[in-house]
Structure 1
């Protein structure tokens, strides 16, 4: 069957962070990765989504099982560039309506660690745009992703799932509030000045943080954020010298390697006379060496450790999530009906063409034989009669084909397949 939608990936529920980051794609590499993905025989269209909580490949493919195998190999090849365990126990796959439902749930933040967080929709749009620029999006994924954006908008407007401040940044600050009884006497260093860093800074200040240092690989971005929040910009090369002043260090930088290792923290602790330090790591790839947690008087939390805080959020939003799931299901059915028409239209065209070829061939034989003495008027009447006969014979099959998809997607698919087989339309 043509035009199957498939998804292969792993997320915060199926794989720990060290496995997720082993297959993560840096933004600068996504275009090249998409070109490689499109080179696989079964993949007609493809989009890569790579965030701190998930890595997924969404594809339109000619053969579902072949696509699963090819994409799994594609991710394994990505993993092979780094050191991590096997992917087999962490990969999930979706096909057809299940794949459509999964993407709609992702867009509506129903599959997020923090139910209702708004960042995932922006990330989806970002990776969809990247695939468009790479030329790996066609009619099917164009329709699928734009429909997912509409579903997310509908969920937010028709439910209360997004009410209140919910995001990875707000969850990180909630965790910090559980660590510290007060913020006004604490110094915070923020590593990363992107959208997440901006949100974190604002949340921290709203809870009383007064001393906030900001560092970023691009110093101008650190300066711009520091000016907006009245913080102190630190050059990236210099930030280790300022770590001794930080009670809380939050990492949200988009980097490929650790920016702080255990040896650095051990040195800082001596300078702080072993005064406790807390690290919260919410980068797409981990910013802090996990060995830091082995040191005394140091407490490191990564994005997976935020799950307990996020679970509290999920409980509060369960009723709204139930409403959202109904919207998603309704939209999935609508999209699958549209997918069905992609098979219907060429099948109907091929069926009509096959019958018309037979009609014209038989008329040509008859007019060259026993009916060659017919007048022009009689020949025209013969054409009209045989055309009417073909139309009447095709009326039932074509009407049933058009009616079957809206009522039952599975029956519609079987009906298309049966017509193709019976009338040898596969090559049309």
Structure 2
């Protein structure tokens, strides 16, 4: 399994200012990157996962190495390898498989048990599939990862309560303001995180929610779903003076909200505090906004402490989930090793079939049998052959537990039956 490799960084290994430099801000950018890799890369297969908390490149190549994958990141994002290397992790073979299964199970998420990661993985897989960068191995690996993610949620309580990053953001607002009932909220963006946040605000009693999005129709659709008010994207800066809470999560490649914009709004707020939550990667809000008096800016990394409180409540379920992951890693590894036996089993069956046919022809020439009798003898010979081969095939497949045994016994069978040259 040495051909599969993973290079990535996440909310544990890298600060936001590093992650946002490698983030793929939308599907169009992701498609372009995959298309480039398909045309002129030594990678046989590749899938890129880019979320607010991680960027990971899963690849298959006979030359897999961290140097190779760092070069891919540098080509796609223009970020020198030496600037990101201290924040990245590189995993090969079984370790890469284990990491993917852990990610799919939301055990590596900022909010353990959050349900969004499985959908994000599926989207990454589907985009790569459409771009033609998914082959036999990554197809099998990701399909298994989806199965593992669902199994963990089904057989443990890790997903109870449907906690997400959006939920944590709203919890933070509730801790700061206490009662949210009379607060005005502006949602900038219309994606899944914004919708989840809007619903959580509603569940905590927020009555007035304004929704702004670059695409008017998407903003209108979200506003309709959550009973909010759509506002033109161009008007959001004017509306800052009315809001108590601003939550932003768009796919913009550069900040949308600047220090000067917020500073102007403060003149009309009469000392009322303004709470801004920036869930976007790259960030939607200029970090310098936090320098203003009366403004409390929180980005995705600032939510870690609140998320950790919820993680502590799920530690027992997380331990059970890890056990399930290990079981599935072992199953996948066994399946992969069994692939090395397949050529030997195939050659063994072909050798036995050729021998059976040869002996059948010789025997039938000396017998006076009608067609029906010949078919019976033919069937008998096939059954005898299969009964003879069955214990050998079962034995070979059982050796998939150990990589060295696979090679050793495969070579032994080839030697015994003279299959070396086949």
Alignment TM class, shorter chain as reference: 0.7 to 0.9
> Could you say which residue in structure 1 is the equivalent of 2:38?
38
Higher mean alpha-carbon deviation, 304-313 vs 178-187, is at 178-187
What's the Cα RMSD here? 3.3
Partner of 2:69: 71
Q: Which of 266, 269, 279 is 1:269 aligned to?
A: 266
- Shift of the 184–84 alpha-carbon distance from structure 1 to 2, 3 Å rule, reads farther
Q: Aligned residue for 2:399?
A: 404
Which residues in structure 2 correspond to 1:226-305 (within 5 Å)? 226-305=223-302
The answer for the alignment partner of 1:5 in structure 2 is 4
Equivalent runs, 1:20-419 vs 2, <5 Å: 20-25=19-24, 26-39=26-39, 42-65=42-65, 68-80=66-78, 86-349=83-346, 401-405=396-400, 407-409=401-403, 411-412=405-406
Given that 1:340 and 1:413 are in contact with CA atoms closer than 8 Å, whether structure 2 keeps it comes out as no
SS of the residue 2:212 aligns to: strand
1:187–1:245 CA contact under 8 A, matched in 2: yes
1:36–1:422: structure 2 CA closer, same or farther, 3 Å change rule? Answer: farther
SS in 2 for 1:76: helix
> Following TM superposition, by how much is the alpha carbon of 1:419 offset from its aligned partner in structure 2, in angstroms?
8.7
What's the secondary structure of 1:212's corresponding residue? strand
With 37-46 and 264-273 compared, the bigger mean Cα shift is at 37-46
Q: For residues 203-244 of structure 1, what are the alpha-carbon distances to aligned partners after superposition, in whole Å with 9 as ceiling and x for unaligned?
A: 001111112111011111111221222211111111111111
1:352 CA drift (Å):
8.0
- CA apart distance, 1:126: 0.7
1:412/1:206 Cα in 2 relative to 1: closer, same or farther (>3 Å)? same
Count of aligned pairs: 399
Q: What CA deviation, in whole Å up to 9, does each residue of 1:59-85 have, x standing for no partner?
A: 2222333xx32211111233426x998
Taking a change above 3 Å as real, the CA distance of residues 323 and 48 of structure 1, as seen in their structure-2 partners, is same
Tell me the secondary structure at the aligned position of residue 22 of structure 2: coil
With 177-186 and 159-168 compared, the bigger mean Cα shift is at: 177-186
**Whole-angstrom CA distance in 2 between matches of 1:225 and 1:424:** 68
The residue matched to 2:160 in structure 1 has which SS? coil
Give the 3 Å change call, closer, same or farther, for CA 397–150 of structure 1 in structure 2. closer
Distance (whole Å) between structure 2 residues aligned to residue 203 and residue 336 of structure 1: 41
Counterpart-to-counterpart distance in 2, 1:235 and 1:176: 25
Change (3 A) 1:256 1:73: same
Distance 1:292 1:112 in 2: 27
Q: Is contact 1:76–1:87 with CA below 8 Å preserved after alignment?
A: no
Work out the CA distance in 2 between the residues paired with 1:270 and 1:417. Answer: 80
Instruction: Tell whether the 8 Å contact from 2:340 to 2:406 is kept in structure 1 after alignment.
Output: no
C-alpha change, 1:348 and 1:154, in structure 2 (3 Å) is same
Deviation at 1:297, TM superposition (A): 1.5
Cα 1:413–1:262 change in 2 (3 A) is farther
Q: In 2, Cα distance between the equivalents of 1:418 and 1:281?
A: 61
In structure 2, relative to structure 1, the CA distance for the partners of 1:70 and 1:19 (3 Å cut) is: same
Question: CA 1:332–1:269 in 2, change beyond 3 Å: closer, same or farther?
Answer: same
Q: Deviations over 1:10-60 (max 9, x none)?
A: 100010111111011131111121122334654211111000000001122
Give TM-score scaled by structure 1 length. 0.84
Partner of 2:376: none
Asked if the contact 2:33–2:76 (Cα under 8 Å) also holds between the matched residues in 1, the reply is: no
Corresponding position of 1:370: none
Post-superposition shift, 1:141?
Answer: 1.0
Distance in 1 between residues matched to 2:234 and 2:279, nearest whole Å: 21
| In 1, Cα distance between equivalents of 2:349 and 2:217 | 65
Alpha-carbon distance in 1 for matches of 2:391, 2:213: 67
- Give the unaligned 5+ runs of structure 2: 356-360, 367-385
